[in-house]
Amino acid sequence: MADAAAATARLDATGLICPLPVLRARKAMRDVPPGGLLEVRATDPAAVKDFAAFCEATGHTLVDSRQDAGVYVFLMRKAG
């Protein structure tokens, strides 16, 4: 498992509801180099399925997905 501290970029999507966390992550991923890590924090429970589907559709890798004190934390590795 990759260490979240090694994330290339971070996105705070707390308080946003579907589809905004994924849309913001897609935009943030543009600035991440291939193989880089993006950490996203979200509070929308739908984000769990949304980020799994996002990674499957884009070819990015969902490295870690966890819940920490009501906040969902996703760590994704950019494809390429």
11: part of which helix (H) or strand (E)? strand 9-13
Domain range enclosing 53: 4-77
Instruction: Compute the chain's Rg from CA coordinates.
Output: 11
- Tally of domains within the chain: 1
Q: What is the dihedral of CA 6, 12, 14, 19, to 10 degrees?
A: -100
Summarised one tens digit per residue, pLDDT across range 17-70 is 999 999 999 999 999 999 999 999 999 999 999 999 999 999 999 999 999 999
Q: What residue type is 56 in one-letter code?
A: E
Distance CA 18, CA 61 (A): 20
CATH assignment at residue 40: 3.30.110.40
What is this structure's pTM? Answer: 0.92
Catalytic site positions? 18
Q: What is the dihedral of CA 1, 41, 26, 34, to 10 degrees?
A: -30
Q: What is the pLDDT of residue 3?
A: 66
Q: What residue type is 36 in one-letter code?
A: G
